[in-house]
A and B are shown apart, each in its own frame.
Chain A
């Protein structure tokens, strides 16, 4: 995650100059628009989260299955997506296109641990979005009596408390063009929302379809039950 920091200002400026996103305080109290049965993706937060992912996380973590064109799902225009893709150099030296898969990271070895792919990380971890946020903000000094393994860092959210990834988020790691203060906690929340989208791009559509379908079948069930009662009464 620490590598390729030079990409951060370039990409963040390129992405967030488009800046349709408006900041909303989701940290106090901590909440995500994707939470709950009516949840949907906060596109502004997901756009900011993509900037953080691309600037800070992408050097170590892959995002399998996603194409750059899929970023239209978080509210970017095709022109913006094309601009972002063009700024990314693939392994063969050519520029990415909107139809390119997200650039895989180079071979990274974090003290013997391979950084996990983040494409579906929210679906893969108990607690999902909240876990990602808690993990990214969970670094700190190890409690008394805890001996860390060489090359490991204390993280209160990680099972076992020891992780080979260092704390990579810091205040102002990127500059948000929408004026949102890029605190480490804000960056963590934005990345968590972006990874929620990457894990489940159809979240909002699924909930909308679900609500309509449930209403339809609830009404249909009521009509069918009434019809059944009437037919059975008439048949004696």
Chain B
């Protein structure tokens, strides 16, 4: 073996590792990125934790017993309560990170121009995680999840045409012993798909980033140090929530056992589903719910083309309206927790669409002029 071979041995044997190291050390990043730019990294860490804890839970979870099965995991499986805590707290914190990141993209117009593909991937990720979150809510076997699922299946089976066919394929027909087993598969697949979508969204966002001018820094050690500090802070918040507020944001009915004889006046959703529940509340039936969700998703997907600005920095009016949209979404979530006056509920719903369809084109065009 020659000296050259010896020296190049490890790198030659692990070209991927060498490539990764070279990528981390490459000076191609602009310095001074804010803390909020670490949100995708944090979301990736939370998703990895969700996948790992989900796999551990799936080993013991019995869809036929649902909540009793989760109690078995908590009581009988070694460290079962920790695995469940990881999954429940991770879901809640993951949505915090995702909502804040999307809001930041809206506020900074991070959806425009070449970043449009990345924005659409982020919206798709939100949709996938919301569906996975709702399935998790149903798989929990609590009273709220049970009735939410029954309502969804009953309404879906009344659909006809292609929509009815999709609903039949998804739910597998009327609620029965196999329903949760089927939904467990979708829950897991969506979790894995979300990880892939996150990777694609980050890659697309990175591709769309303009080539920085001037001095450059490498990810290692500059942004690695920032990401590590952000991860430590996230872990601190995670531990606080998991160990001292384990039922945080899960909805009042999540602990109650599912029962076909106990019908709640209104389903109590986990906090991260409440904005969606508020958006769909005005439209009864599966068709109405689906219409509201599709309309909201379409507005988000179309945002890059609704924005008429020429690419300049967002103006004060645009930023104020975006903050107002954030409050509107919070209000929609609140409306799903405690009923609001019908007029206010309608206003919150209508404002969501007015923001995207009317105000965004008008204000961005005005600010560009």
Contact = CB atoms under 8 A, between A and B. Distances in A.
A206 interface: yes
B252 interface: yes
- How extensive is the interface on chain A, given as a class? 20 to 34
A227 interface: yes
B243 interface: yes
A228 to B, nearest CB: 4
Contact of B222 (A70, A123, A232): A232
Given A70-B75, A221-B229, A221-B233, A206 B246 contact: yes
B267 to A, nearest CB: 16
A125 B95 CA distance: 26
Contacts of A123: 247, 255
B229 A228 contact: yes
A119 B71 contact: yes
Contacts of B31: 235-236
A232 B221 CA distance: 9
Contact of A220 (B72, B225, B232, B252): B232
Contact of B243 (A214, A225, A231, A232): A214
Interface string B71-95: 1101100000110010000000000
B228 A117 contact: no
A88 to B, nearest CB: 19
Given A206-B81, A213-B243, A217-B239, A120 B255 contact: yes
Contact of A206 (B221, B226, B243): B243
A149 interface: no
A211 B236 CA distance: 10
A74 interface: no
Q: Secondary structure of the A side of the interface? A: helix
Contacts, number: 80
A148 interface: no
Interface in A178-236: 201-202, 206-207, 209-211, 213-214, 217-218, 220-221, 224-225, 227-228, 231-232, 235-236
A201 B255 CA distance: 15
Contacts of A209: 82, 243
A210 B241 CA distance: 9
Contacts of A217: 232-233, 235-236, 239
B257 interface: yes
Interface in A38-88: 64-66, 70
Contact of A210 (B235, B244, B255): B244
A124 B243 contact: no
B290 interface: no
Contacts of B128: none
B231 to A, nearest CB: 8
Given A64-B68, A201-B75, A217-B232, A117 B257 contact: yes
A124 B268 CA distance: 13
A194 to B, nearest CB: 15
Contacts of A201: 75
A207 B244 contact: yes
B240 interface: yes
A227 B252 CA distance: 42
B242 interface: yes
Nearest to A223: B232
A140 interface: no
B174 interface: no
Contacts of A231: 221-222, 225
A232 B72 CA distance: 49
Interface string B323-352: 000000000000000000000000000000
29 contacts: A64-B71, A65-B71, A65-B72, A120-B71, A120-B255, A123-B247, A201-B75, A202-B74, A206-B246, A207-B243, A207-B244, A210-B239, A210-B240, A210-B243, A213-B239, A214-B240, A217-B232, A217-B233, A217-B235, A217-B239, A221-B232, A224-B225, A224-B228, A227-B228, A228-B225, A231-B222, A232-B226, A235-B31, A236-B215
Interface of A: 37, 64-66, 70, 117, 119-120, 123-124, 126, 201-202, 206-207, 209-211, 213-214, 217-218, 220-221, 224-225, 227-228, 231-232, 235-236
